[in-house]
Structure 1
Amino acid sequence: MPVLFSLLRTTVPSPSPATLKMHATQMLASTNLPAKHHVETTLNYWDDPGDGLPPTPIFIGKGRITNERPHRPHHFLVTDITGEEEKYTLDSHGFQYCHHESSEKDFTDEKEIRSKYYQECKLLLKDITGASRVHIFNHKVRRGPTQWHHLGLKNLANRGPVTRTHVDQSYAGAELRLRWEFPDEADELVKRRYQIINIWRPIEKVFKDPIAVASADSVPDADLVGAEMTEDNFKGESWVVRHNPNHRWFYKHGMTPQDVLLIKCFDSDTTVARRCLHSAFEDPAHRDRESRQSIEVRCLVCYDG
């Protein structure tokens, strides 16, 4: 029996120095993750009046946006993914965070934005996606208060965060935009993969009204409703959203101007995440902070072959 005990005891090897080092590294990495700032909040979803009619159109023009669609708040937990950003990609979840330095800092000069910043954005998207062509069709700078929609005439001069869940283009709306931007090439471009991706960047560190994104695989197409949107002479279609408690929402706490969020609004490839709901939301801990400042650049992304 003592001999047998001795043999059994020797069959259980001690951890090697390499194994101990690996475990120590893993433990150190886990303790170095930044503290999370998850937020219990409400997100505003389209309130279907049940009359069978499509959502009320949005009109943007002459310095004003008119949005009379009814919405209703619903409670959600928005999960902070700080320190784990690499787990979320455009093709797996419909959004992606990346670190990027811009030569632009205050984004007050429209000419500089269109010449210098547009070029930076094109290079960034080509590098991340491998696309052959990036066309920027507009951008929005937001510095206004949370309730800017209610400012009446010329409210676009005080454009602020959008606190309603939405996708900028529906599947049909994406093709409308492609055909508007490339009327002579669209018939060929639609035969290949194309996307619409927003590049969202803080101008100052974000506390109030951060932006949340929903994992694409938690949002079935049945929750999306096409809604007409007219901006100047362009008539497009976006998506409003029916409430579903299974939607999973994420954000990155305390984003800085070097933290860029890519939001996929459309992808013609049906084998990957095709669209990403997004919305600004209220963080009760920062309700009284200064208004959020951000810029989003909207891009058509095309591929060869």
Structure 2
Amino acid sequence: MASGAVQDIEDTAREAPALIRYLDEGDFVTRRYVSQGAEMNTGEYRDHPVKVRDGMPLRDHFSLDVHGFVIAKHATAIADFHDKAAVDAGYQREVEALVALLTGADRVATQGWMIRTSGDLSARAQEKVAGYVHAGGIQPPAGEAHVDYNELTGQRAAARVYAQAFPDGPGYRRYICFSLWRTFSPGPQDWPLAVCDGRTVSDAETASNTLFVVDEFPVGDALTAPVEGEDQMIAATIFRYRPQHRWWYFSNMAADDVLLFKFQDSDHSVTWRCPHTAFHDTSLPDARVRESIEVRGVAFFE
């Protein structure tokens, strides 16, 4: 199909108005602090009005290596995603098999899961939990345009996961760090996930956002005080606004819809990352609280 025809197909999509939060222009100490039921960033951010295209009527159009994301159907055996033991026991194995099928990878290993909800988490945010781990819990929807890894974090994650999961493996020539996302609340969801066509972003608008998992948020100058070795710590990639960014979402996702998108692909000859964030969808009536589950992992090509 000619590129012009592809462009025409995408331009037929319904558009939803949205505010997407981006890092402002300028130099900032950029950090993401995560605690029980709450997350916060340092730096200065601004909401930019954008149009998010509804990809659901065009769902078969999208390709992981072209757009950086793909939507698929998958029936899960998990009856209740709030049943932590059941999710731990079975869901990650489902995801590994599905991602292997969708990517053609030789091996897939997952790294944990997280539920996100647009519902009220204010009481949970007040809990004081020593040694809180950002896995297997409940957090709010993501608040800004980001990719969960920067390059160094992705490289290290792939090497660590492969060594742990496949100690006798022959090694890998390519890896894809990914998220497999599923909403399990009825649609339409009030704060769905938006994904950005990875071809429309560049390194020029990026910054690293270092992750700090804490029991309590620092205050005042402690939020941005120098930390030795911070450039070697786990960090995400965040983005500054550019008008060419092309955002998509899939309205009224059902429980058997899954969205696979890239944090980082070591093969940069294809679309290798997918910025994403939640947005408030005001385009559909009777929107409901969003509940979703994300599983992170790495697909390996040997």
Q: TM-score range by the shorter chain?
A: 0.7 to 0.9
Indicate the SS of the match to 1:243.
coil
Pairing 1:301–2:299 present: yes
1:183 shift after superposition: 5.3
Q: How many residues align?
A: 266
Instruction: Tell me which residue corresponds to 2:150.
Output: 170
* Alignment deviations for residues 233-282 of structure 1 (CA, whole Å, 9 cap, x no partner): x9411011011011001111111111110011100001100000111111
Indicate the SS of the match to 2:67.
coil
CA contact (8 A) 1:65 1:149 kept: no
Instruction: Tell me which residue corresponds to 1:47.
Output: 24
1:197 shift after superposition: 1.0
Provide the rounded CA distance (Å) in 2 between the counterparts of 1:212 and 1:64.
20
Instruction: Tell me which residue corresponds to 1:103.
Output: 77
User: What are the equivalent positions in structure 2 for 1:185-224 lying under 5 Å apart?
Assistant: 192-206=173-187, 207-224=189-206
CA contact (8 A) 1:223 1:243 kept: yes
Indicate the SS of the match to 1:284.
coil
Match of 1:274 among 265, 272, 275: 272
Indicate the SS of the match to 1:83.
helix
Instruction: Tell me which residue corresponds to 2:139.
Output: 159
Instruction: Tell me which residue corresponds to 2:119.
Output: 145
Indicate the SS of the match to 2:66.
coil
Provide the rounded CA distance (Å) in 2 between the counterparts of 1:301 and 1:115.
20
CA contact (8 A) 1:177 1:236 kept: no
Call closer, same or farther: CA 1:91–1:168 in 2, change over 3 Å: same
The amino acid that maps onto 2:178 is I
Call closer, same or farther: CA 1:153–1:176 in 2, change over 3 Å: farther
Instruction: Tell me which residue corresponds to 1:229.
Output: 211
Provide the rounded CA distance (Å) in 1 between the counterparts of 2:280 and 2:293.
19
- Shifted more, 217-226 versus 137-146: the winner is 137-146
The amino acid that maps onto 1:68 is T
User: What are the equivalent positions in structure 2 for 1:29-44 lying under 5 Å apart?
Assistant: 37-44=14-21
Match of 2:258 among 257, 260, 274: 260
Match of 1:94 among 56, 68, 89: 68
TM-score normalised to the size of structure 2? 0.78
1:38 shift after superposition: 2.2
The amino acid that maps onto 1:283 is D
- Which runs of structure 1 show a deviation greater than 6 angstroms over 4 or more consecutive aligned residues? none
Indicate the SS of the match to 2:234.
strand
1:208 shift after superposition: 0.5
CA contact (8 A) 1:40 1:75 kept: yes
CA contact (8 A) 2:37 2:124 kept: no
The amino acid that maps onto 2:103 is T
TM-score normalised to the size of structure 1? 0.77
Percent pairwise identity:
27
Pairing 1:80–2:61 present: no
1:60 shift after superposition: 2.9
Name stretches of at least 5 consecutive residues in structure 2 with no aligned partner.
Answer: 1-8, 129-133, 215-231
Call closer, same or farther: CA 1:179–1:59 in 2, change over 3 Å: farther
The amino acid that maps onto 2:94 is E
- Shifted more, 286-295 versus 95-104: the winner is 286-295
CA contact (8 A) 2:185 2:292 kept: yes
Provide the rounded CA distance (Å) in 2 between the counterparts of 1:173 and 1:190.
19
